[in-house]
Amino acid sequence: MSKWTRRGLLTAGTAAGAVALIGAGSPAPRRREPLDIVTGEDGLSTPATAAAGAVTFRVRTTSTRTGNVGIARLRHGIGEASFRRHLRDVFEKKSPEDVIQASKDLMADAELMGGAMAVCGSQSSFTACLPPGPYLVLEYKDFEGPYVGRDPLPGAEYVRPLLVRTADDAGAGGRRPFATVTAVDTARGPRFVLEGRLRRDRPLRYVNAMRGQVDELAVYPLTDDSVTEADIQRYFQDTRLPAPFELKAQLGTPPLSPGRSAVIEMPLEQGRYALTSWVVSMKDAQRLSAHGQVLIVTVL
């Protein structure tokens, strides 16, 4: 996530989430089958349609140059070409002023619904609440340049249409998460707050409660027990330093617009993990984790 979400910045949005009220004697909502997304250097396979409500996607990648899959919804009157161009700008622009402007342009183009980061040989999943309408499924690494993704020509990035149709009932979105990680603004800067316990066999809910700031959740296993949150913050302040974790082991979710949430399932093992963000601040174009948005957690 080189510049924005190593990677830089993305879009604004409104609060999301769905609460299902089940009356006495009402049948329980049927559980929907997850929809499969497979990304790799030989192609991107995505569902063409989905029923509105809580939709679960399973994500697999066949290459280290792919595996950062997200969902976006274009705002009224915005074309796909504009979205592609501004997303590239977020990664390619150099000056802080240009990066922030590119991020503002992208925020005006689309609302980001999150997604899943996957690694070869395993599977990740995410659940998002999607109202009816047209969406895009995209491979973020395609926009990040030659040192991260496939580096396709402009217009040839992996972007696929997804039509979410009206459903008779919202259905059941998947297993209940045991923990919630929330991105928040504090007097000390952006932070992650954990409620509950992270378990290797349970989903995690991620909430972006930042004001006017997109954010992601990039998760890395820590194999060195001596690594501290301060060490990780220093690395994000100067990525020329040795990384305190294996960059290719990244899991989590790509950016969500402010107020959005998603439930993600990751192939986690027991042990220590770093919760980080490569997204850059709308205030100074520095990575949010460089400002202290780092949290070391233990998965049980």
What pLDDT is attached to residue 169? 58
Q: What is the pTM of this model?
A: 0.87
How open is the CA angle 190-229-148, to the nearest 5 degrees?
Answer: 80
Which pLDDT band, with edges at 50, 70 and 90, does 13 fall under? very low
What pLDDT is attached to residue 171? 56
Q: What value does the mean pLDDT take over residues 271-287?
A: 97
What pLDDT is attached to residue 29? 55
Please provide the size of the chain in residues. 300
Of the chain, the percentage scoring pLDDT greater than 70 comes to 88
Exposure letters 41-58 (e unless 16+ CB within 10 A, then b): eeebebeeebbbbbbbbb
What pLDDT is attached to residue 2? 42
Q: What value does the mean pLDDT take over residues 236-242?
A: 97
Judged against a pLDDT cut of 80, whether residue 236 lies above it is answered with yes
pLDDT tens for 102-161 read: 999 999 999 999 999 999 999 999 999 999 999 999 999 999 988 999 999 999 999 999
Q: What value does the mean pLDDT take over residues 49-57?
A: 96
- H helices, E strands: number in the chain: 4, 17
Q: Which residues are within 8 A (CB) of 168 and not within 5 positions of it... i.e. 6 or more apart?
A: none
What pLDDT is attached to residue 24? 36
How would DSSP label each residue in 208-266? E--SS--EEEEEEE---TT--HHHHHHHHH-TTSPPSS-GGG-EEEEEE-TT-EEEEE-
CA 254 – CA 283 distance, rounded (Å): 20
- In which element (H, E) is residue 161 found? strand 159-165
Structure tokens at 297: 């957690």
Q: What value does the mean pLDDT take over residues 49-67?
A: 97
pLDDT tens for 174-230 read: 678 999 999 999 999 999 999 999 999 999 999 999 999 999 999 999 999 999 999
Which pLDDT band, with edges at 50, 70 and 90, does 1 fall under? very low
Q: Quickly list H helices, the chain.
A: 7, 80-92, 96-109, 229-237
Which pLDDT band, with edges at 50, 70 and 90, does 22 fall under? very low
Q: Is 128 helix (H, G, I), strand (E, B) or coil?
A: strand
CA R_g for the chain: 18
β-strands 68-74, 110-117: how paired?
antiparallel
Judged against a pLDDT cut of 70, whether residue 281 lies above it is answered with yes
